[in-house]
Chains A and B, each alone.
Chain A
Amino acid sequence: MNCEDHISHYLKRESIDRLPFLVKIHLLWCGKCRREIPALRKNLAAYRGIFPYAMKRDMSDSIMRSVCKMLPYKRGAVSESKWIISGCILLGSIFLMPFNNSMQWVRDSFGEFFDIPLTIVMGMAISLYITLFAASHLKNFGLRSKIDRILAKEAQ
């Protein structure tokens, strides 16, 4: 491998900082590359974090003016209306259950003993709903900020 090969070998690598082993060996006895490669490396590394076009205007105020016109975010990924709708569906399905014949169909097919597991499933669905609701509305219960404070202390 001649000098050009070594330089190509180095430039092909993703890392600018690390010289490939064979290149390091080559540097031991090649004065020409010893002058060139470290200088090249220094120059390539100098670009990191530099942005070639300088910004003369600060855009913060103009952006914040637009952003402040929008609704601020509220804690929780699920909107209030989604909570209310899913709650109504859950409750509705429970109240409607005795009045339609799907229950009767279940009884006919599987016998009376199926009532109890079904009740347990329904109970679990309600508990799950309430748990999720409470977890996502902790701020309203005054717990969220307490938890945040504890977490923040832990992080320090």
Chain B
Amino acid sequence: MDEQRNDEQIVRQILYGDTEAFRVIVGRYQKQIFNMGFRFFRNENDAYDFVQEVFIKAFQKLGSFRGLSPFRFWLLKIAYNTGINSVKAYKSTSPIDDVAIPSAEKSPEEKHLNEELRKLLLDAVNTLPERYRICVDFYFFYGLSYNEISSMTGFPVNTIKSNVFRAKKELRDLLSGTIAEDYYEL
């Protein structure tokens, strides 16, 4: 029954004192927050800690949620700010260990295909300057608009536009290069 309620309704429930309803919010968004954490810290353990930290922060700030933008955007913004601040604080110098872990919700055939595509996009994104990579994540995976990404990150829309364009072009080259003919059948 909780699954049918929208985020804003659940938030209201929590503000009425039903803390347990927060579990639904966690269930809905932990994967997205985890992925953002991975983008910031490039390792699983820190990404899990990040998820914990972001949701606790979100719970503490919930009383200040005004519903001016969708809850999901509000949550992603908290996560983004948390990530930016801790990356600044700890200046990660660890090398990129891009472990592409398959997600388990697609059929085996699809999964294989997605895995390949996923690897290609990660390669394409990795050709971009580090601080803009997350913009491309927001565009492709999170489905945010240029304007939303700009208001989240503070980067100008044109910067986001040109980085997304570069990633798409790179991706196109990778798609036609690595699996040449095969790719048209995908």
| Residues in chain A within 8 A of chain B (CB atoms) | 7-8, 11-12, 14, 35-36, 39-40, 42-44, 46-60, 62-64, 66-68, 70, 72-75, 77, 139
Contacts and interface: CB of A to CB of B under 8 A. Distances in A.
Contact of B52 (A14, A35, A53, A63): A63
Contacts of A36: 176, 184
Nearest to B145: A14
Contacts of A58: 30
Contact of A67 (B16, B59, B118): B59
Contacts of B55: 59, 63, 67
A39 B183 contact: yes
B114 A51 contact: no
B26 A59 contact: yes
A68 B117 contact: no
Contacts, number: 128
Contacts of B145: 14
A47 B140 contact: yes
Interface size class of B (residues with CB under 8 A): 35 or more
B41 to A, nearest CB: 11
Given A51-B32, A55-B30, A56-B101, 4 more contacts: A52-B100, A53-B38, A53-B100, A54-B102
Interface of B: 14-20, 22-23, 26-27, 30-32, 34-35, 38, 44, 47-48, 51-52, 55-56, 59-60, 62-63, 99-104, 114, 117-118, 121-122, 140-141, 143, 145-146, 161, 165, 168-169, 171-172, 175-176, 183-184, 186
A47 B52 contact: no
Contacts of B52: 59, 62-63, 66
Contacts of A67: 19, 22, 55-56, 59
Contacts of A14: 145-146, 161
